[in-house]
Structure 1
Amino acid sequence: MNDIQLLTIALAAVPTMLAVLVGILINNSRLTDLRVHVDHLLDELRDSWRAELHRVEEVLDARLKHIEDRF
């Protein structure tokens, strides 16, 4: 193979490699966005569960106090 053929093969492979690298970077940024979104949703869910647990604790404390006062 002469130099022109090698250069042609090399130049044909470069755009493919660049396209793959760009695709990897785009997917990585999308995964990062997804991770941030899921983290936000989990934080909201955790806050909701804590508020609900606090409400249930207050109800149970009130019921227990009512039972203790009766005896």
Structure 2
Amino acid sequence: MENLSHFCSCTDLACPLHPAKHGKGCAPCIQKNLRLKEIPNCFSDLAEGLTDRSGDSFTEFANGVLQEHK
């Protein structure tokens, strides 16, 4: 786990892009999310309303955040 950024909060250790699996930090995950126009899981973990989301799209993230703050 020495490759983790000091702020990394990702708990998806099964993900091949998790920083613990390589020496590139969060960059591969962020690159994948930018390419797919998705939000990284660590962002979604910050909001309680996103625990049962069906995907990582911008829309899914925005709807979850809005639900949490109603």
Q: TM-score range by the shorter chain?
A: under 0.3
The alignment's TM-score, normalised by the length of structure 2, stands at 0.22
Could you say which structure has the greater relative contact order, defined with CA pairs below 8 angstroms and 6 or more residues apart?
2
Higher helix fraction (1 or 2): 1
